[in-house]
Amino acid sequence: QSVLTQPPSASGTPGQRVTISCSGSTSNIGRHTVNWYQQFPGTAPKLLLYRDNQRPSGVPDRFSGSKSGTSASLAISGLQSGDEGDYYCSAWDVSLNGWLFGGGTKLTVL
Amino acid sequence: EVQVVESGGGLVQPGGSLTISCVASGFTFSDYWMTWVRQAPGKGLEWVANIKGDGSEKYSVDSVRGRFTISRDNTENLLYLQMNSLRADDTAVYYCARVSRVSVAGTNWFDPWGQGTLVTVSS
């Protein structure tokens, strides 16, 4: 079964650095790039990072991404209260012949 | 401004049908794959289906194959999702999104997303 696994929650205090992991397999992350989406309550998802670590224009460099083997990570430095929301990783899966999303990680700024 | 806007959601009985739409603007619609992603209440994102720019290729997730049909009208910049034999577990906000144009398969991303349209399947 093709799945991307994320921790259901993450938290940090303002100014801290937080990382969110995304674990997959050789049919998805292991052979294709990873994208990250940010979603605030009641709003649509928004592209946060693409191709593992590329930021669309307008996304602050506090957000960064990395990938190694079949896992990827999103790092948020200088945590701000406005970063509270849900974060989803996504990758193409050759077995599914479609896109997979992780279950999402709810980020709380304490 | 590149934009996609969904419409057509509503309440439908189990076993019923509904077609939702997405109108695109600000880009050459026929040049892009488009996709539908859904989100059940309180749940995560699930990819539903995608369609090539000229409509010649379509793919969908197993759970909707044979029940949902993705299509497009490039003359009107419209994307559709026709949903038949609807079930309670199809209840979700349905988002349309543009798929990025890249030369290497499997390296695409979704941007922008629409605001979503809510489909509720209930008696």
Residue A1 pLDDT grade (very low, low, confident, very high; cuts 50, 70, 90): low
**Could B47 and A99 be called an inter-chain contact, meaning their C-beta atoms sit closer than 8 Å?**
yes
Closest approach of chain B CAs to the CA of A46, in angstroms? Answer: 7
Is it the case that residue A9 has pLDDT exceeding 80? yes
Q: Which residue of A has its CA nearest to B51?
A: A98
> Considering CB atoms only, which of A50, A98, A103 is closest to B61?
A98
**Could A102 and B113 be called an inter-chain contact, meaning their C-beta atoms sit closer than 8 Å?**
no
The DSSP bridge partners found for residue B34 are B51, B98
**Could B44 and A45 be called an inter-chain contact, meaning their C-beta atoms sit closer than 8 Å?**
no
Cα distance between the two ends of chain B: 40
Return the residue matching tokens 């040049």.
Answer: B31
Q: With contact defined as beta carbons under 8 Å apart, do B110 and B1 qualify?
A: no
* Residue ranges of E strands in chain A: 9-12, 18-23, 34-39, 46-49, 63-68, 71-76, 85-93, 98-101, 105-109
B30-79 pLDDT, tens per residue?
A: 999 999 999 999 999 999 999 999 999 999 999 999 999 999 999 999 99
**Could A44 and B105 be called an inter-chain contact, meaning their C-beta atoms sit closer than 8 Å?**
no
**Could B111 and A56 be called an inter-chain contact, meaning their C-beta atoms sit closer than 8 Å?**
yes
CA atoms within 13 A of residue B28's CA, in its CB half-sphere = 5
Q: With contact defined as beta carbons under 8 Å apart, do B26 and B112 qualify?
A: no
Cα distance between the two ends of chain A: 35
Q: Which residues contact A42 (CB under 8 A, 6 or more apart)?
A: none
**Could A92 and B108 be called an inter-chain contact, meaning their C-beta atoms sit closer than 8 Å?**
yes
Q: With contact defined as beta carbons under 8 Å apart, do A22 and A71 qualify?
A: yes
Question: B interface toward A at CB cutoff 8 Å?
Answer: 35, 37, 44-47, 50, 59-61, 95, 100, 105-116
Q: Which residue of A has its CA nearest to B6?
A: A44
Q: Which residue of A has its CA nearest to B42?
A: A41
Chain B residues with CB inside 8 Å of A46's CB? 112-113
Q: How deeply is B34 buried, as exposed, middle or buried, from its count of CB atoms within 10 A (0-12, 13-18, 19+)? A: buried
Is it the case that residue B83 has pLDDT exceeding 90? yes
Question: What percent of chain B stands above pLDDT 90?
Answer: 94
Is it the case that residue B105 has pLDDT exceeding 90? no
A26-44 pLDDT, tens per residue?
A: 999 999 999 999 999 999 9
